A and B are shown apart, each in its own frame.
Chain A
């Protein structure tokens, strides 16, 4: 069955070659066209994400959400965008104009660049590089750069403080994320993402569920969502590094954050849920795209679920959690997976999956036990008798009775 996307690409290529253009130029033109189509598609999905976000948060909070504009409030995101665009564009005095204007596009670019290596179907892939996983880490660090530029260029002490804390959190959580990203690489024997997807006969989430959980936690910390969102919540240092941004520049930060959440969903789906794989995805590649986005939206829903259920974590608890719990667990998982994978080579697939699953459960149980004992000892230590303040003695007021 002819793949519609490849068919259209071939027809366009023949058309352009027929017009007499050079071959290298035609390849370049088609690449630019592919990039444009993908970016426009993602930005349109970003608009839909605004609506999804507001409806879902409303339902979690037992209310209806926007329902005035259009059926089910579907025109609401358009109204939001128009509002952002007609707002006054204020640049604070003393702000470094170049960096101030450069930061929002950088933040958006850091998210869009990740989609270059995610295979959308068996035949649609932006760039088939053999170091795809490392590329994703590299591009994530560009987002960190955008935040610190935004914090500095706003000429605002609190914005700078917020940017410092954001960057500290993001680079701390990169460490367990990179370690956990190595586990699917280990199982697939290659860093290229299309190889990882092709090797998932059994989805990776059944083989290394602990790795999936750690990736979800670290990715939520990377994108700055609750419970890790003290960087940008309104009650914490007045909204963090994007205090001084108004209008469409703030809109870019906001849109980049939503799209980043969906990108994390797509990444998780690609590495752990089999990506575009599903029934009949080989014969009809367009189904591959549908499956990928279905899985990505399910993970996005889980991320939103976590966001609107859990309270915020304090920054010292957050960094403690990262360095004392997540990093050792990720390292242990990597080492145990590597050793087990080598030891049970050549075993039937069902037994392989069962053994890896059991090992993951064992590690998780050990960690939970350690944490439980630690919490018990902490509670005992904190719950000691401490002198409590006494109210002042009742003195009768003379003259009144």
Chain B
């Protein structure tokens, strides 16, 4: 067992454990905290996969913005300060069954594919993935069009969410 394998197994166990806590815990705010731990674990995996920019972007976007937004939304949409009643709906055994079936079929699919046990290829040190990524996002024969479309999407989401959440003016009387 090399050190990298031990790190992988520990981080994977912590991340999957936190993910299970996200979907099973009763208190919603604790679920948000476990979600932050899961996102952090995923960021560590990006580092293991030599995608350093994605790791830092994950922390900035998911933990620094999305998780905080979720915590705000949880605090703004609760009538009582405590969670009462069961937090799962009536069909939860079916949900569990579907998830396990899907997991089983994915594992079966992987075992039938020969490329699943590829070992880690060495990255050529001439090429800097960060620079490549930056160039590919703005170069006309790479991915500039998806980049621009995604920025328009973000603009639409920004304006749309402000308008949707704008408090309605009650009728003046």
User: Are A160 and B75 CB-contacts (below 8 A) given A134-B53, A145-B68, A152-B29?
Assistant: yes
Q: How far is the CA of A164 from the CA of B68 in the complex (A)?
A: 11
Give Cα A312–Cα B81 distance, bound, in whole angstroms: 33
A138 within 8 A of B: yes
A155 to B81, CA, bound (A): 9
* Chain B residues near A120 (CB-CB < 8 A): none
Residue A171 interfacial (CB < 8 Å): yes
Q: B residues within 8 A CB of A167?
A: 68, 72
Known contacts: A99-B33, A152-B29, A152-B75. The answer to whether A141 contacts B56 by CB under 8 A is no
Q: A24-B3, A131-B52 are in contact. Are A145 and B67 (CB under 8 A)?
A: yes
A257 CB to closest chain B CB (Å) equals: 19
Residue A194 at the chain B interface, CB threshold 8 Å: no
Contact residues, A97-146 vs B (CB, 8 A): 99, 129-131, 134-135, 137-142, 144-145
A155 CA / B56 CA spacing, docked (Å) = 32
A141 touches B130 (CB 8 A): no
State whether B52 touches A141 (Cβ < 8 A).
Answer: no
Name the A residues within 8 Å of B72 (CB-CB).
148, 164, 167
Binding site for B on A (CB under 8 A): 24, 28, 96, 99, 129-131, 134-135, 137-142, 144-145, 148-149, 152, 155, 160, 164, 167, 171, 174, 191
Listed in ascending order, the chain B residues whose CB lies under 8 Å from chain A are 3, 29, 33, 36, 52-53, 56-57, 59-60, 63-65, 67-68, 71-72, 75, 81, 128, 130
Contacts of B57 in A (CB 8 A): 134
Alpha-carbon distance between A164 and B71 when the two chains are bound, in angstroms? 11
**A141-B59, A152-B29, A152-B75 given; A131·B53 CB < 8 A:** yes
Complex contacts, B81 vs chain A, CB 8 Å: 155
CB-contact partner of A130 in B33, B52, B60, B75, under 8 A: B52
Measured in the bound complex, the distance between the Cα atoms of B64 and A144 in whole Å is 8
Q: How far is the CA of A328 from the CA of B65 in the complex (A)?
A: 21
Do the beta carbons of A141 and B68 come within 8 Å of each other? yes
Residue numbers in A under 8 Å from B71 (CB-CB) = 148, 152
User: B127 to nearest A CB, angstroms?
Assistant: 13
A314, B165: Cα distance in complex, Å: 24
A134 touching B63 in the complex, CB below 8 Å, given contacts A129-B52, A152-B29, A152-B75? no
